[in-house]
């Protein structure tokens, strides 16, 4: 099932997810298009709105001719990919959707700059600008002294390497906004607190930018939020306790920032949470004991943090867990045997810690596991896996660089998991101290996630609203 998606890298997944979002929205919109529009005479556009649209096209499109070639861009027959219109009660066409940058939608010219006029289109519901601002630096801006389109539900500006500057506080005027995606741009400065007054927001994605400062406590105001992604920025300070107010949150990703402190106790209130990622930060301290309240959690991804403590027993009570990733974080002590009660666990990453003791015998009973990395620890004893387990995991089982581990000779035939058969002469010679470069905590590393279907689920939830 989901196994075949497990090796997708994060950017690739995001691409795929966005494609799904985009294609689904466009299907919805197409279905809404009413072809009886043809019978409305005259059903042209309000001249002001038409002129605004021409201005937007001129600042964006590589096709500079289209004012001539599409004098009535909303009319059926002359309609052009990347634009969708609806007939309003005034019997005029109104633009409801603009989509730039993803073929077959219009591509952007090298000198494309942010068209603040989009916020003057009165009926606009969604905007997608993907890989558009690539050469000429430009910033998100709003028209001066004009009321911004309050019907806008989805604003998606993604993968625009020349989109710079800060997120303008004025974004709070987009009162109907449900999906705000500003991922993979070069946005800087702090996240404006005004963003947290957008109380219709369902999905907020500011990932892969250069945002700085702390995560404002006002984030707790977004009571309807289902998905929150601030990963791959330069955020500092603690995770605000107010995060516990996001009671319906299903996906939370703060990976790859410089967050400090410990996971706040209030996290236990997020009992809709399915996906939680905190990898590659500077988090430490104890795990909140309320962690066991997160009974819907399926993914806990927290590699690369300076934890330097024992593995918490709490995870053993999160029975829906499918992925648990706690690599490169200085964990010591033994692997809690209670982890073998995670019957649905499919991936467990504990590599590059300081774990000692034996592998819990119950691990051999984890019937859904397909990826198990325990390499670079100080585990010892006979590996408790039989030959069918070893064959099932194959290359996805990594026990290497645990000097004291060995395979039972009866199970070892034809497998290579990086360790030797018990009693063989090689075992003795392979005992060697960890090299300095093998030491835990090697700093940031891209990590691999199995989040495809979580997004799929979120996306279905979002668009069934
Ligand atoms: C278009 O609208 C007309 C009248 O409002 C309605 O009868 C018709 O079923 C609609 N067609 C589609 C395809 O939605
Ligand atoms: C384990 O996964 C199966 C199949 O995906 C599901 O039906 C079951 O409810 C899951 N068990 C738990 C405890 O989540
Ligand atoms: C593994 O499963 C078998 C059969 O369900 C059970 O008898 C055995 O006790 C389990 N082993 C461990 C260590 O949990
Ligand atoms: C290996 O162990 C699993 C889990 O305990 C068991 O279901 C399976 O039958 C065993 N296979 C062999 C070949 O012993
Ligand atoms: C296990 O982790 C080590 C250390 O991070 C890595 O080099 C190795 O590729 C991983 N093995 C598997 C099978 O993922
Ligand atoms: C281990 O090595 C010794 C000497 O090198 C040899 O005599 C012995 O047969 C070897 N044992 C095994 C199990 O390979």
- Give pLDDT tens digits for 73-105: 888 776 677 889 998 888 889 999 999 987 778
Element (H, E) at 258: strand 258-260
Residue closest by Cα to atom 7 of ligand 2: 344
- Tens digit of each residue's pLDDT, the chain (465 residues): 344 434 444 454 454 444 444 444 444 444 444 444 444 444 688 888 999 998 998 888 877 777 777 788 888 776 677 889 998 888 889 999 999 987 778 889 889 999 999 999 989 999 999 999 999 999 999 988 766 667 999 999 999 999 999 999 999 999 999 999 999 999 999 999 999 999 999 999 999 999 999 999 999 999 999 999 999 999 999 999 999 999 999 999 999 999 999 999 999 999 999 999 999 999 999 999 899 999 999 999 999 999 999 999 999 999 999 999 999 999 999 999 999 999 999 999 999 999 999 999 999 999 999 999 999 999 999 999 988 899 899 899 999 999 999 988 888 777 777 788 887 755 444 444 333 344 444 333 333 343 444 444 445 555 554
Q: What are the φ and ψ backbone dihedral angles of 359, each rounded to 5 degrees?
A: -70, 130
Looking at the CA of 34, name the nearest ligand.
Answer: 1
CA distances from 171 to 111, 116, 168 (A): 24, 12, 6
How remote is the CA of residue 425 from the centroid of ligand 6, in Å?
Answer: 6
Buried b (16+ CB within 10 A) or exposed e, 55-91: bbbebbbeeeeebeebeebbbeeebeebbbbbbeeee
Global pTM value: 0.80
For the CA of 423, the closest atom of ligand 6 is: 13
- H and E: helices and strands count for the chain: 6, 22
Looking at the CA of 325, name the nearest ligand.
Answer: 5
3-state secondary structure at position 68: helix
> Minimal CA–CA distance to 326: which of 388, 373, 268?
373
Ligand 5 within 6 A of 352 CB? yes
User: 265 CB contacts (<8 Å, ≥6 apart)?
Assistant: 241, 244, 288, 290
Residue closest by Cα to atom 9 of ligand 4: 388
Number of alpha carbons in the 13 Å side-chain half-sphere of residue 133: 24
User: 371 CB contacts (<8 Å, ≥6 apart)?
Assistant: 6, 346, 347, 348, 349, 393, 396, 397
Ligand 5 within 6 A of 159 CB? no
**Which residues are bridge partners to 158 per DSSP?**
130
User: 406 CB contacts (<8 Å, ≥6 apart)?
Assistant: 381, 382, 383, 419, 420, 421, 422, 423, 424, 427
What is the CB < 6 Å shell around ligand 2?
Answer: 319-320, 344
Residue closest by Cα to atom 9 of ligand 3: 362
User: Distance between CA 160 and CA 185 in Å, rounded?
Assistant: 5
- Greatest CA separation found in the chain? 90
pLDDT digits (tens, 9 = 90+) for 336-357: 999 999 999 999 999 999 999 9
What is the CB < 6 Å shell around ligand 6?
Answer: 424-425
Residue closest by Cα to atom 3 of ligand 2: 344
How remote is the CA of residue 432 from the centroid of ligand 6, in Å?
Answer: 20
């Amino acid at each position: 099932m989901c196994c075949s998606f497990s090796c997708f890298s994060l950017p690739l997944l995001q691409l795929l997810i966005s494609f799904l979002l985009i294609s689904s929205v466009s299907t919805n919109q197409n279905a809404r298009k009413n072809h009886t529009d043809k019978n409305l005479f005259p059903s042209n556009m309000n001249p002001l709105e038409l002129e605004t649209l021409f201005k937007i096209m001129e600042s964006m499109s590589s096709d500079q001719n289209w004012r001539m070639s599409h004098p009535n861009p909303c009319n059926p027959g002359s309609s052009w990919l990347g634009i969708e219109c609806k007939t309003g009660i005034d019997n005029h066409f109104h633009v409801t959707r603009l989509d730039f940058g993803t073929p077959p939608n219009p591509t952007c010219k090298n000198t494309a700059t942010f068209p603040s006029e989009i916020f003057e289109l009165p009926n606009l519901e969604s905007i997608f600008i993907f890989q558009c601002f690539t050469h000429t630096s430009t910033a998100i801006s709003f028209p001066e002294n004009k009321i911004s389109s309050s019907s806008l539900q989805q604003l998606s500006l993604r993968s625009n390497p020349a989109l710079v500057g800060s997120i303008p506080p004025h974004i709070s005027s987009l009162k109907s906004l449900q999906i705000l995606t500003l991922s993979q741009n070069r946005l800087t400065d702090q996240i404006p607190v005004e963003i947290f007054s957008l109380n219709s927001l369902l999905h907020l994605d500011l990932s892969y930018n250069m945002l700085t400062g702390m995560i404002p406590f006002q984030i707790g105001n977004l009571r309807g939020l289902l998905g929150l992604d601030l990963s791959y920025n330069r955020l500092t300070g603690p995770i605000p306790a107010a995060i516990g107010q996001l009671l319906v949150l299903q996906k939370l990703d703060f990976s790859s920032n410089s967050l400090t402190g410990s996971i706040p106790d209030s996290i236990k209130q997020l009992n809709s949470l399915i996906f939680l990622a905190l990898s590659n930060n500077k988090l430490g301290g104890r795990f909140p004991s309320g962690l066991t309240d997160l009974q819907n959690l399926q993914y806990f991804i927290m590699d690369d943090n300076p934890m330097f403590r024992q593995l918490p027993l709490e995870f053993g009570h999160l029975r829906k867990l499918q992925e648990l990733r706690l690599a490169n974080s200085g964990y010591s002590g033994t692997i809690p045997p209670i982890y073998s009660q995670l019957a649905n666990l499919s991936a467990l990453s504990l590599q590059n810690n300081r774990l000692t003791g034996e592998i819990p015998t119950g691990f051999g009973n984890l019937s859904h596991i397909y990826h198990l990395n325990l390499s670079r620890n100080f585990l010892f004893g006979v590996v408790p896996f039989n030959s069918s387990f070893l064959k099932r995991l194959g290359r996805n089982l990594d026990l290497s660089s645990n000097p004291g581990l060995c395979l039972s000779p009866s199970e070892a035939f034809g497998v290579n998991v990086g360790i030797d058969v018990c009693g063989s002469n090689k075992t003795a010679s392979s005992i060697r101290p960890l090299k300095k470069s093998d030491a835990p905590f090697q700093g940031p590393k891209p990590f691999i996630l199995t989040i495809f279907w979580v997004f799929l689920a979120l996306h279905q939830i979002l668009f069934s609203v």
